[in-house]
Amino acid sequence: MKYLKLIPALLVTAAIIALWYDDFVILLLVVFLFWLFVPIAVAALYFLVKARRCRDTYEKVTVAWGILNLLLLVGTYVWLCLNNPNAERLAKHYDNHRDDLSRLVQYTRQAIDPGAYIHLEFEHGKASIFHVQAPSDPLPSQHWDDAERNKDSIMAVVGLTPIEYKELFRLLRQAGCIGITLSSGRDDDSTAVVDWRRDLMGMYSYILFDRPTTPQEDSTFRTDPMFIPYTDRVVLQYSGGAIGRQSFTQEERQPFLADYCRSPRRSAPAAEP
Cα Rg of the chain (Å, integer): 23
Residue 268 has pLDDT above 50, yes or no: no
Tens of pLDDT, residue by residue over 56-71, are 888 888 889 889 988 8
What pLDDT, on a 0 to 100 scale, did the predictor assign at position 52?
81
Q: Which of 200, 248, 208, 198 is nearest to 228 (CA)?
A: 248
Q: How far apart are CA 58 and CA 3, in angstroms?
A: 7
Tens of pLDDT, residue by residue over 158-216, are 999 999 999 999 999 999 999 999 987 655 567 999 999 988 788 999 999 999 999 99
Q: How far apart are CA 208 and CA 69, in angstroms?
A: 43
Domain boundaries defined on the chain: 2-83, 87-262
What pLDDT, on a 0 to 100 scale, did the predictor assign at position 201?
80
Q: How far apart are CA 229 and CA 251, in angstroms?
A: 15
User: By CB neighbour count within 10 A (0-12 exposed, 13-18 middle, 19+ buried), where does 51 fall?
Assistant: buried
* Orientation of helix 34-50 relative to helix 57-83, angle to 10°: 130
Query: pTM for the full model?
Result: 0.79
pLDDT band per the 50, 70, 90 thresholds, residue 270? very low
Q: What is the phi/psi pair of residue 214, to 5°? A: -80, 165
Tens of pLDDT, residue by residue over 84-143, are 889 999 999 999 999 999 999 999 999 999 999 999 999 989 999 999 999 999 999 999
At position 96, the amino acid (one-letter code) is N
Mean pLDDT comparison of 39-53, 75-89, 101-115, highest-scoring range: 101-115
More confident site: 93 or 20: 93
Mean pLDDT comparison of 42-56, 195-209, 257-271, highest-scoring range: 195-209
